[in-house]
Structure formats: structure tokens, C-alpha cells
Amino acid sequence: MSGFFQKMKEGASKAADKAQQAMEVQKLNSQISGAKKEIDKLKHQIGDVVYAAYQADRVGTLELDLTALSRQIAAQEANIAELELKIKETKNQKDCPSCKQTVALDTKFCPGCGHKFEAAPAAAAAEDAPACASCQAELEPDSKFCTSCGQPVAQ
């Protein structure tokens, strides 16, 4: 019966983790949406500046205005790229550097192009972590029992 309750507890924990992940992704997507709206405003402002200069017959003096607005757009685009990276990290995903396909963080070879991913330092540390003798699950530090199968940990 304790196995049943353990599975229920694990299921509830996974559901809570997924809900937290979904909330974080939604928050980041909202920030991306705001940045994209700001880019649209800046592009509209560029159009207004160009047209105003055209009407005033001073098109040759646009460079400073356009450079400043273009830098603001570039800053917003960099912000969006950073937020998109955070979303991938939250979802435990990464992009293949060769074909740009999004894959799971623990993927060793890209399914799209076969690119071999280098082992992350965290993964190497996880390989050194103690494992349960019964089910081979990674053990938490100072565990007396395995959190996956409930077997006592050999000391």
C-alpha cells in the first residue's frame, strides 16, 4: 500500500513541477510579447521620422535619429533572444548548433542531423552520484532509502 501512496506523491509532485514550469514559460512569453510590441512601436516611429524628414526636405539628416531607434530595436531583439533561451532552459531543451532543431537537454545526438552533443559538466557530476543498488536510480545525498523504489541504502 505504501507503494501506491509513493506513486501518488510522485505524480502530484510531477504535476506541481509541470504547473510551475508552465507558469514560468507563460511569464517569459508575456515578456517576449511586450518586447515585440515595443519593436513594432519603434518601427512605426522610424516611419514617422522618415516621413517627417521627407516633408521638411531634410532626408539627409536622418542618420542620427535612425541609428538611435535601430539600436533600441536591436536591444529589444537581444532581450527576446535571451527570454527564448530561458524558456528552453525552463523546458529542459536546447538547440542543435548544426541544424537549429530543438531537442531535449539530455540528448546525446541530434535526431535531425546526427550532431553529437558534448557532455555537460552537470551530467558528468550526476554520473559520479551514488546509485541505488536495487533500481540504479540516483540517490540524494544522505539518503537512507531510495526515493524511487524504497529500498534501504547500503551505507
Q: How many percent of the chain have pLDDT more than 70?
A: 93
C-alpha cell at 5: 501512496
For range 13-35, the mean pLDDT: 92
Per the listing, cell 501512496 goes with 5
Q: What is the pLDDT of residue 132?
A: 83
Burial call 9-32: b when 16+ CB within 10 Å, e when fewer:
eeeeeeeeeeeeeeeeeeebeebb
pLDDT band at 155 (very low <50, low <70, confident <90, very high): low
The candidate with the shortest Cα–Cα distance to 143, out of 152, 97, 135, 134, is 152
Residue 103 predicted with pLDDT over 50 = yes
Residue 124 predicted with pLDDT over 60 = no
Query: In the predicted model, what is the mean pLDDT of the chain?
Result: 87
pLDDT band at 121 (very low <50, low <70, confident <90, very high): low
Residue 37 predicted with pLDDT over 50 = yes
The torsion angle over the Cα atoms of residues 8, 14, 17 and 23, rounded to 10 degrees, is -100
CB 96 within 8 A of CB 110: yes
Per-residue pLDDT tens for 55-91? Answer: 999 888 889 899 999 999 999 999 999 999 999 999 9
